[in-house]
Amino acid sequence: MFFIKKKFRDYFCRLISKVNLSFLLNSKSRIQLRVLIIHSINEEEKLLNLLKNLNKKWRFITPDQFFQILDNKKTINQSSLLITFDDGFKDNLNILPILDKFSISALFFVCPGLVQLQNSNTLFPLLAKKLFRIPLIDKDIELLNWDDLRYIQDRGHSIGNHSLLHYQVNKLSIKELKEDINLSKSLLEENLKKSKSLESFSYPFGGAEHINAVSLQLLAENFKYVFSGIRGNNNINKANIIYRDEVSINDDIEITNSFLKGSFDLYYRFKLIKLIF
């Protein structure tokens, strides 16, 4: 079933790209302000090729520049792209030199509770398997530790909040979500340098089905910037949630370009409206 869905998605993306229909989905603004989601990177060469291709058409911006644009303190005159990485996998360290090649300052969303639990040889692997919903590889999943995160900050990148333990937050009670927010914020503030990015949160999983009105309202009350996994152009975004485009380094560049042109924006917007209003 997944294979069939992917084949249909790829066919639709190529069709949109070839007949240039994507402008209909973003007719109010030809200038795009988009955010890319990337997860674990096990083949650095593929990431390098992806960024090379994106660099031809997009201007990479820093997290601080992105926040200034959202706050109406800065304007853009060309399509701009913020790069984000979710989950805080250890292999993210390997891609820092690649980001340097393009002068990219990225935003890394991490789960501080899992960072704390990594010293447990039994509890952490079980939690990682359950919460990330991926099979364990070589006995465990290695995540960034506090020293790694401070090093990433020192390299000019930013850290954001991805919930305490990567729970599906729309399934938590209000009390549980408040506790998650308070503890995760405290851990990040205690262990990392103060920065504007600590005011940002990205939904674990992040699809429209993982977001509801209650969780969004509570998160918006506690974080200035709430990121989703819903595709869209933030230059025409009036919602209190930030759109992001998830891409795979294994996708054909034509597919990625089609996503960033807005192939699926309307579809995701309707899904979000249906779920939270």
pLDDT digits (tens, 9 = 90+) for 26-78: 544 578 999 999 987 888 999 999 999 999 999 999 999 999 999 999 999 99
Residue 7: predicted pLDDT: 53
**184 inside domain:** yes
**174 inside domain:** yes
CB atoms within 10 A of CB 237: 15
Question: Is the model's pLDDT at 271 over the cut of 50?
Answer: yes
Residue 119: predicted pLDDT: 59
CA-wise closest residue to 51 among 102, 109, 108, 103: 102
**273 inside domain:** no
Residue 88: predicted pLDDT: 92
Looking at every residue in the chain, the average pLDDT score rounds to: 84
**42 inside domain:** yes
Residue 94: predicted pLDDT: 94
% residues pLDDT > 70 (the chain): 78
**166 inside domain:** yes
- 52/236: higher pLDDT: 52
pLDDT band at 138 (very low <50, low <70, confident <90, very high): very low
**271 inside domain:** no
Q: How many independent structural domains does the chain possess? A: 1
- 113/118: higher pLDDT: 113
- With beta carbons less than 8 A apart as the criterion, state whether 162 and 132 touch: no
Residue 37: predicted pLDDT: 95
- Altogether, the residues listed in the chain come to a count of 277
Separation between Cα atoms, residue 257 and residue 254, nearest integer Å? 5
% residues pLDDT > 90 (the chain): 57
**267 inside domain:** no
Specify the pTM: 0.85
- 58/255: higher pLDDT: 58
Contacts of 10 (CB under 8 A, 6+ apart): 252, 255
- With beta carbons less than 8 A apart as the criterion, state whether 188 and 146 touch: no
Residue 192: predicted pLDDT: 96
pLDDT digits (tens, 9 = 90+) for 180-217: 999 999 999 999 999 999 999 999 988 888 899 999 99
- With beta carbons less than 8 A apart as the criterion, state whether 264 and 233 touch: no
CATH number at residue 156: 3.20.20.370
- 240/219: higher pLDDT: 219
CA distances from 148 to 30, 85, 103, 182, 190 (A): 38, 14, 20, 23, 15
Cα radius of gyration rounded to whole Å, the chain = 18
**112 inside domain:** yes
- SS3 (DSSP) at 30: coil
Residue 127: predicted pLDDT: 56
Which tokens hold the place of 233? 């152009």
Residue 249: predicted pLDDT: 87
Note down the domain range covering 27. 2-260
- SS3 (DSSP) at 111: coil
